[in-house]
Structure 1
Amino acid sequence: MTEVIALKTAFTEPAPTFDNDHVEWLMEAVLANRFLPCPDPDSIFVGDGNFRAVGAEFLGHFIRKGGLKPESRVLDIGCGIGRMAVPLTQYIDFAKGSYRGIDPVAGGINWCRQMISPVYSNFEFNHLDIAHSLYNPKGAIDGLELVLPYEDRQFDFIIMTSVVTHLPDEEVSAYLREVERVLAPGGRLFMTCFVVDQVAADNPLKKRDARLGFQRYDEGPCWFVPELPPLAAVGFDDGFLEGALLRAGLSVMTKSFGHWRGIPSDHYQDLFVAELQGDRR
């Protein structure tokens, strides 16, 4: 069972609004559908794990944990080469829902434009030339000055999977300010991360992912892996991300620890689901 951490501010867990049998069927259908586009597994844009299996898993998480609806207007920040977009084509309503994906790596965006958008016209992909020391070192946009190319209150569901795991704390806050701006009231953010609490840092059961031996960087909230480039894997002090979300105007609904830290869980990274409770403008 996934370990869900109780928050200091109590919240009421909403009753499930999905048919779990249908979600299971949908995930299996995505895995079995050989006609869905799938990039070359050797592509540098694919990331870890099986492309189709990881996408199907997250489709289930978006629906079950995030409350994603077929009619949702979705923004996928850091969409890469469409690992989340491909399974979402089988769920987002063609007439009522929409998907927008952005990424600083042009190669992944070009693949999505060629392989997904011609068939699913409600799926749109945009290259955003954000500078990143690993993924886009020559980018023209400073992450601290990020402005998403969308109007206010345009999205119902925003995805940030494996995004803040590659950002310094100041840029996390900049991204979250923009998330708040483009989310519609009642809209939700689904965000994965690495939270370095005492258990994760000390690894008392010796079951933590051996690749993620985080060490504190300085007096700030960030933790890095010494053997890797600084932004290859970033963890944060327990409590930092809750604070950043709250400062951005988002209320935390769910905080769930993942099995990277050596505990039983149905997801690898830690995750947050946060909601914009009302229009603050």
Structure 2
Amino acid sequence: MNQILAFSNPNEPVLDAKSEQHLDWLCQQIIANRFLPVPPEEAVFVGDGDYRAIGAEFLAHFVRRAGLMPEYDVLDIGCGIGRMAVPLTQYLDRADAIYEGIDPVANGIEWCKRTISPAYPNFGFQVQDVKNALYNPEGSIGGRGMRLPYQDGVFDFAAMISVATHLPPEEIETYCAEVFRVLRPGGKLFLTAFIIRDADELTNPGCDPRLTGFERLENQPCWHLKGENPMAAVGFDDGFIDGAMANAGFTLAAKSFGTWHGDPADHYQDFLIAEKPRRNA
């Protein structure tokens, strides 16, 4: 069974048939809408695949799996060149919701500011000069010293899509703690990762051949691709990210393994969804 943890809150909203139909329609409209911005192919640095289709896919995951609502205030960490932001412009309420995207790659942020924000003023973007061996090797801010430039408790939802896949373990802990700080009680973190359940699964015929070269660092909970930049693709022992979330104060609400393992699923990377506990009445 792919979904190994279900939502722990029995009152979590579930889409009814009409809402499911509307979400499907919206995602198809996003994919087909030629007026929505798409960056030049050579400017996209956030992975392969169809820009609009991947963004629409994740919008559907955010709504179905994590209960994202149109009025929520959203933080997109590692927003890149707007792949999550563009579909969210069609879902988030312009009057009631804000979106903030943050990334260390200045070119992506500048494209978003120039292309998205003028039409959607509730969408803000900013560069955070965090050092990363793959995306920003000359950054002025060390990953362990990273602090999100937002006040406590100002967001309802945070996304880290293909971010943990490029971070060392100690920075995962920092990011979890910072996201916990800026979320409101009841807010959710939606994080994608490569989770290594055991070394044998890397020899599974269905495993993505690009990732069968993962090797575990001695005395570390992380895995890197042999011969590549250490941050090109980072995997983690099963349970490590769960523990980092718990140490930050989160409750793990859902965890689902992706098709990169060779498992049947409707998503490629592994998903972890964590919730900041609500205050006691």
- Could you tell me the TM-score, scaled by structure 2's length? 0.94
- The Cα of 1:204 is off from its aligned counterpart by 5.2
What residue in structure 1 maps to residue 48 of structure 2? 48
Per the alignment, residue 61 of structure 2 pairs with: 61
Match of 2:258 in 1: 258
Tell me, yes or no, if the aligned pair for 2:225 and 2:234 is still in contact at 8 Å: yes
2:8 corresponds to 1:11: yes
Residue 119 of structure 1 corresponds to which residue in structure 2?
A: 119
Higher helix share: 2
| 1:173 is aligned to 2:170 | no
Any conservation in 2 of the 1:73–1:154 contact (CA below 8 Å)?
Answer: yes
Query: Secondary structure of 2:41's match?
Result: coil
For the residue of structure 1 that corresponds to 2:70, the secondary structure is coil
Match of 1:137 in 2: 137
* 1:46 positional shift: 4.1
| DSSP-derived class of the 2:181 partner | helix
Whole-angstrom distance in 1 between the partners of 2:155 and 2:13? 23
Matched, 1:209 2:208: yes
For this pair of structures, how many residues does the alignment match?
Answer: 276
Amino acid corresponding to residue 31 of structure 2 in structure 1: L
Instruction: For residue 15 of structure 1, report the CA deviation from its aligned partner.
Output: 4.7
- CA shift, 1:161, in A, is 0.2
Residue segments in structure 1 that go unaligned for 5+ positions in a row:
none
Deviation at 1:158, TM superposition (A): 0.2
Identity of aligned residues (%): 51
1:1-281 counterparts in 2 under 5 A? Answer: 3-6=2-5, 11-12=8-9, 14-17=12-15, 19-198=19-198, 201-203=200-202, 205-213=204-212, 214-278=214-278
Q: CA deviation at 1:266?
A: 0.2
Residue 45 of structure 1 deviates from its aligned partner by: 2.3
Moved over 6 A (4+): none
Q: Is the 8 A contact 2:204 2:261 kept in 1?
A: no
Tell me the distance in 1 between the aligned counterparts of 2:242 and 2:201. 22
Amino acid at match of 2:37: P
| 1:169-219 Cα shifts (integer Å, max 9, x gaps) | 000001111001000000000000011002x64345411000012110111
RMSD: 1.6
* TM-score after normalising by structure 1: 0.94
CA contact (8 A) 2:77 2:159 kept: yes
- Give, in angstroms, the shift of residue 111 of structure 1: 0.1
Contact in 1 for aligned 2:44/2:81 (Cα 8 Å): no
